[in-house]
Structure 1
């Protein structure tokens, strides 16, 4: 776009011949490149490694290389230096999901009571893990415990309603 002439820069009657600006000088397409360009199929060198190690693993779990099944890490082997194991947030999340479902389906009182008890158990286990520092979702675990208790109460209330209306 910048190399094209505009209406005011075009030659016409009474306009002297203008020289193109220096930045629009033609480029020789047959000139060799300034630096050798890598071609397709050339081997790619490995990326540089920092002085303090390879850094954080972008995907997966830490310590996934090495001998399988050892030292409590997924995939086995030793973890990278300075890396902590990933938090185990599954119990708290499971408690929250089961608690929400049990509170939502209280009309199906047997299902609500069973899911509420499971949510209560998973929520308390998740809360314990969060207090020990093994998990980071203590609030979710507490919410799962509360929703599970609400599901149990609503399930028993529905049971009482069903018995009272017979």
Structure 2
């Protein structure tokens, strides 16, 4: 059987297992039972979207958890709780605009940050009431 004709753009990619060629990857030779996976879309194509920036939501969750767990270090926990609320708000805004894909993580960070602030305020109130 003769080979297929060459396209006007050039020969293109030789199909997997075509006689007289070696595959670029995988098992050598045409005895491999499966064709190679197709190449995925690249990030350099014009009009492509940028990858989501989920850093604010993730930072909010991390700071909120540290604030809620470490509330006995009340000055640090209070600042971290406030930062978790701020970063969570920014992360939720990014998710609303479609720039991020983790609105739930940002919301969880805001909740943990608020819980850390409430625990700090409760600890301070307890210390003041016992000390006074």
| TM bucket, shorter chain | 0.5 to 0.7
Taking structure 1 as the reference length, the TM-score comes to 0.54
Does residue 67 of structure 2 align to residue 102 of structure 1? yes
SS at match of 1:88: coil
Does residue 126 of structure 2 align to residue 141 of structure 1? no
Q: Distance in 1 between matches of 2:41 and 2:57?
A: 26
Moved over 3 A (4+): none
SS at match of 1:122: helix
The CA RMSD over aligned residues, in Å, is 2.1
Which stretches in structure 1 are left out of the alignment for 5+ residues?
1-34, 38-49, 63-78
Over residues 65-91 of structure 1, what are the superposed CA-to-partner deviations in whole Å (9 max), with x where a residue is unaligned?
A: xxxxxxxxxxxxxx3135311001000
Aligned to 1:56: 41
Shift of residue 138, structure 1, vs aligned partner: 0.3
Aligned to 2:126: 161
Aligned residue runs from structure 1 range 15-164, under 5 A: 55-57=40-42, 62=43, 79-81=44-46, 83-164=48-129
* Larger relative contact order (Cα-Cα within 8 Å, sequence gap ≥ 6): 2
SS at match of 1:165: helix
Higher helix share: 2
Shift of residue 161, structure 1, vs aligned partner: 1.2
